Amino acid sequence: MIYLDNSATTRQYDEVTELMYRVAKETYGNPSSLHSLGFEANNMLTDARRDMESFMATGGEIVFTSGGTESDNMALVSTARKMKRRGKRIITTEVEHPAVLETCKRLAEDGFDIVYAGVDDTGLVKTEDLMQAMTDDTIMVSVMTVNNESGTIQPVNEIGRMIRDYNKKHGTGIVFHTDAVQAFGKLPFSQLDADLVSVSAHKFHGPRGTGFLYMRKDLKLPAFITGGGQENHYRSSTENLPGIAGMALAAKMSYEKLDAKMARMCEVNDHLYKGLTAELKDVVLNGPKELGCSISSAGSGSAHTAVRCPAVLNLTFRGTRGEVLLHTLEQDGIFVSTGSACASHKTGDSHVLSAMGLDHKAIEGAIRFSFSEFNTVEEMDIVIDKVKMAVNRFRKLGSFR
């Protein structure tokens, strides 16, 4: 089996599974309980929190959540609630995850004014659009760190700087959120500069149903889930200790020898891209050509070129349908994903690829390969061979589609 759908979810580390089993079996006390079993659980929770904090910039709080979607919801909704008297404008991009876009839609129904910045053909957000949209009425900007479909690394640090400058100049308090679900565990993280950061454990070999929202210390958002007061009152609910402990271990393991892992992922990514473009005609890369291994390497000005996270390679094979390729490859034990959910309906097209300017045909023929540290160059040779066969087979019938 060659699993190349790591942006969807990853295989959990065995060590994480074993730890979670142990925690569920042995450390089952409620961290809020006063007895020693509860104390033990609380210690484990505190350790996990400290572990996660060590990956973040400085002086922030970690609020454990049920995952990326909840973190995004909490970031947007709680900020909007807190700031609603200061302004109504929220700026985001057209290529965000539905967890952000759908939440923005809901906020728009509640009277907020949502502005969507566009992206260029590599998926890079147009920072000048963001800048232009900023007004005294703006309360929040939300831009993802790495796009899940194109792998484009957004210039989040540059955007963070722009917002700080704007705040200084205009006396505004614009909050900057970034959905870093596709970045954490895959790119160095300590340089990331944002007020709110969403992270999900199952994207870096941790468990599902666990994630966190990092919050700048002085932000003081209102509670998102009310109840027993857990998670410093931000998010009540008895803590998912096996999940949280599992996430902390997965984070530690992901960041172990990260440089070597990134170098290998670059090699794997590059090998697959070069192999496929050498073997097949009419293969188009959806996303930046150059791979980048840090968040700060991304930029939009003339000094920078757009870069792509080494975990993602999105290609359009012209004259084919991604869904057919996907089902062909799955027969050989190769698992990928497509740019279109259903070939016969345009409504299933990826909003990300649409925003990048791809037409329906190009989206229909798009395949996303997404890698993890477990993938190898040898695997890619098999993938190249199988993709080549599949594409050639179906291009013969291509006149129909």
- Give me the catalytic one of 104, 266, 309, 342: 342
Contacts of 158 (CB under 8 A, 6+ apart): 127, 298, 299, 300, 301
- Span from 31-39, 259-267, 323-331, 367-375 in contact with other proteins (CB under 8 A): 323-331
- Span from 31-39, 217-225, 339-347, 366-374 in contact with other proteins (CB under 8 A): 339-347
User: With contact defined as beta carbons under 8 Å apart, do 121 and 357 qualify?
Assistant: yes
Strands 334-335, 2-3: pairing is parallel
CB of 339 to other proteins, least distance (A): 16
d(C-alpha 208, C-alpha 89), whole Å: 33
Q: Which of 108, 263, 342, 377 binds other proteins (CB under 8 A)?
A: 342
346 near other proteins, judged by CB under 8 A: no
Q: Which of 324, 353, 356, 387 binds other proteins (CB under 8 A)?
A: 324
362 to 401: interface string for other proteins, x by CB under 8 A: ----------------------------------xx-xx-
345 near other proteins, judged by CB under 8 A: yes
Give the SS3 label for residue 81: helix
Q: Which of 132, 344, 346, 359 binds other proteins (CB under 8 A)?
A: 344
Q: Which residue has the tokens 């809901």?
A: 106
Alpha helices in 137-177 (DSSP H): 156-170
Q: Kindly tell me the burial class for residue 345, based on how many C-beta atoms sit within 10 Å of its own C-beta (0-12, 13-18, 19 or more).
A: exposed
**Is residue 342 annotated as part of the catalytic site, yes or no?**
yes
User: Strand locations in 180-263, DSSP E?
Assistant: 196-200, 211-216
User: With contact defined as beta carbons under 8 Å apart, do 258 and 188 qualify?
Assistant: yes
Q: Which of 323, 349, 373, 379 binds other proteins (CB under 8 A)?
A: 323
218 near other proteins, judged by CB under 8 A: no
Select 86 or 327, whichever has its Cβ closest to other proteins: 327
- Span from 240-248, 306-314, 337-345, 356-364 in contact with other proteins (CB under 8 A): 337-345
Q: What part of residues 282-321 is at the interface with other proteins (CB under 8 A)? A: 321
Give the SS3 label for residue 85: coil
| Count of other CB atoms within 10 angstroms of residue 165 | 11
d(C-alpha 102, C-alpha 116), whole Å: 13
Select 115 or 334, whichever has its Cβ closest to other proteins: 334
258 near other proteins, judged by CB under 8 A: no
Question: What is the set of active-site residues?
Answer: 342
Binding site for other proteins (CB under 8 A): 321, 323-324, 326-328, 330-331, 342-345, 396-397, 399-400
